C-alpha cells in the first residue's frame, strides 16, 4: 500500500488493523514523518490540559544500544528462565501467544537496529516519584495511542512497550532526563517486515453491559 493510500484509511480501519508490529526494517524513516508522529501524539487530551507530554526520538546508535540492553534485561525478567508467560490465555491460544513471544524475542535481539525508538515522557516541574507517575499516566497514554494510529495510517509499524523502562534511573541517565521528567512508554518505529493485519479482541458482548455490571 502506498503511503498516500494508507493515509486515506478510515479511522475505524486503522483502529481495527493496528497490531503491535515488532519486526521492523532497519531502513531510515524520513524526519518529517517522525515529526508528524509526535504532532499527532500531541493532539491527544491531557488532564487539566497540562500538555506535559514530552517525546524523545532516539536515532543515535549508541543510545539505541543502551536502550536495547535495558529492554533485554526487562524481557528476560518477563519471560523468565523457563520461558514462563508462554501458556495460552482464555482469549489467546497457546500458538498465538508463542508467536507473540517470538516477536518479542526478535525485537529484543534487533532493537538497536530499528531506525527510531520513541520514548513517551512527561514533565512534572518538580522531582518526580513513582506515586506521581502512577497518578499521571492517564495523560500520556492517549498520546501514545494517537502516535500508534498515526504510524499505522502512514504505513509505519510500531508497538507500545514498557519492559525497558523498569529502571527509571537508568533510563534517565541514558536519555539525559532531568529529575522532573519520567519515561512511560518506549515505541520502536520502522517500516514493517511482516504484514499489517486485524487485531483479535474479546467480543464486545463479553466486555460491556448497559447501566451497571451483570453476569
Ligand atoms: C501498557 C502496555 C505495555 C506493553 N509493554 C510491552 C512490552 O514491554 N513489550 C512488548 O513487546 N509489547 C508490549 N506491549 C504490547 C502488548 O503486548 C500488545 O499491545 C498486546 O499483546 C496486543 O497486541 P496486538 O495489538 O498485536 O493484538 C505493551 C502494551 C501496553 C498497552
Q: Any idea how long the chain is?
A: 215
Compute, in angstroms, the gap from residue 137 CA to the centroid of ligand 1: 16
Predicted local confidence at residue 6, as pLDDT: 60
- Tens digits of residue pLDDT in 50-97: 999 999 999 999 999 999 999 999 999 998 865 556 667 788 788 888
Compute, in angstroms, the gap from residue 211 CA to the centroid of ligand 1: 30
Q: Give the residue-averaged pLDDT of 161-177.
A: 98
- Give the lowest-confidence range in 87-91, 125-129, 211-215: 87-91
80: left (phi over 0), alpha (psi -120 to 50) or beta: left
Least Cα distance to 121 among 177, 170, 164 occurs for 177
Ligand 1 atom with the smallest distance to the CA of 162 is 8
Q: Exposed, middle or buried: residue 101 (CB in 10 Å: 0-12, 13-18, 19+)?
A: middle
Predicted local confidence at residue 24, as pLDDT: 98
d(CA 25, CA 186): 17
Q: Give the residue-averaged pLDDT of 116-142.
A: 97
Pocket of ligand 1 contains residue 149 by CB under 6 Å: no
Strands ordered across the beta sheet of 53-58 = 53-58, 116-123, 181-190, 157-158
Predicted local confidence at residue 69, as pLDDT: 98
List 24's β-bridge partners, or say none: 192
Q: Give the residue-averaged pLDDT of 147-173.
A: 98
Predicted local confidence at residue 20, as pLDDT: 97
- Tens digits of residue pLDDT in 93-115: 888 889 999 999 999 999 999 99
Predicted local confidence at residue 165, as pLDDT: 98
Q: Above pLDDT 70, what percent of the chain?
A: 93
Pocket of ligand 1 contains residue 44 by CB under 6 Å: no
Positive or negative, the CA dihedral 144, 146, 149, 150 is: negative
Q: Give the residue-averaged pLDDT of 32-58.
A: 98
Q: Above pLDDT 90, what percent of the chain?
A: 86
Predicted local confidence at residue 93, as pLDDT: 81
d(CA 48, CA 157): 31
Domain parsing of the chain, residue ranges: 9-60+115-207
- Answer with the residue of higher pLDDT: 124 or 96: 124
d(CA 139, CA 142): 7
d(CA 183, CA 177): 9
Which one is the CATH code of 9-60+115-207: 3.20.20.70, 3.40.50.720, 3.40.50.11780, 3.40.109.10? Answer: 3.40.109.10
pLDDT, the chain, mean: 94
**Residue carrying the nine cell digits 511482516:** 194
- Tens digits of residue pLDDT in 176-193: 999 999 999 999 999 999
pTM for the predicted model, two decimal places:
0.94
**Residue carrying the nine cell digits 495523560:** 139
3-state SS track over 118-156: EEEEEECCCCCCHHHHHHHHHHCHHHHHHHHHHHHHCCC
100: left (phi over 0), alpha (psi -120 to 50) or beta: alpha
Give residues with Cβ within 8 angstroms of 67, minimum separation 6: 58, 111, 112, 117, 164, 171, 174, 186
- Answer with the residue of higher pLDDT: 168 or 4: 168
Compute, in angstroms, the gap from residue 2 CA to the centroid of ligand 1: 26
Whether the predicted pLDDT of 206 surpasses 60: yes
Q: Exposed, middle or buried: residue 113 (CB in 10 Å: 0-12, 13-18, 19+)?
A: middle
Amino acid at each position: 500500500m502506498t503511503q498516500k493510500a494508507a493515509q486515506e484509511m478510515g479511522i475505524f480501519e486503522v483502529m481495527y488493523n493496528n497490531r503491535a508490529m515488532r519486526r521492523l526494517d532497519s531502513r531510515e524513516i524520513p524526519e518529517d514523518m517522525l515529526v508528524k508522529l509526535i504532532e499527532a501524539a500531541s493532539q491527544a487530551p491531557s488532564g487539566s490540559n497540562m500538555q506535559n507530554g514530552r517525546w524523545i526520538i532516539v536515532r543515535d546508535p549508541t543510545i539505541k544500544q543502551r536502550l536495547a540492553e535495558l529492554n533485554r534485561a526487562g524481557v528476560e525478567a518477563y519471560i523468565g528462565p523457563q520461558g514462563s508467560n508462554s501458556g495460552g490465555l482464555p482469549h489467546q491460544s497457546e500458538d498465538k501467544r508463542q508467536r507473540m513471544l517470538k516477536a518479542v524475542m526478535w525485537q529484543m535481539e534487533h532493537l538497536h537496529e530499528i531506525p527510531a525508538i520513541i520514548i513517551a515522557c512527561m514533565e512534572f516541574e518538580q522531582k518526580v516519584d513513582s506515586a506521581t507517575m502512577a497518578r499521571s499516566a492517564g495523560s500520556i497514554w492517549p498520546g501514545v495511542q494517537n502516535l500508534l494510529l498515526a504510524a499505522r495510517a502512514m504505513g509505519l509499524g510500531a508497538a507500545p512497550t514498557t519492559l525497558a523502562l523498569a529502571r527509571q534511573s537508568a533510563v534517565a541517565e541514558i536519555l539525559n532526563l532531568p529529575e522532573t521528567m519520567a519515561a512511560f512508554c518506549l515505541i520502536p518505529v520502522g517500516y514493517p517486515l511482516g504484514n499489517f493485519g486485524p487485531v483479535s479482541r474479546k467480543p464486545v458482548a463479553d466486555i460491556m453491559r448497559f447501566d451497571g455490571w451483570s453476569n
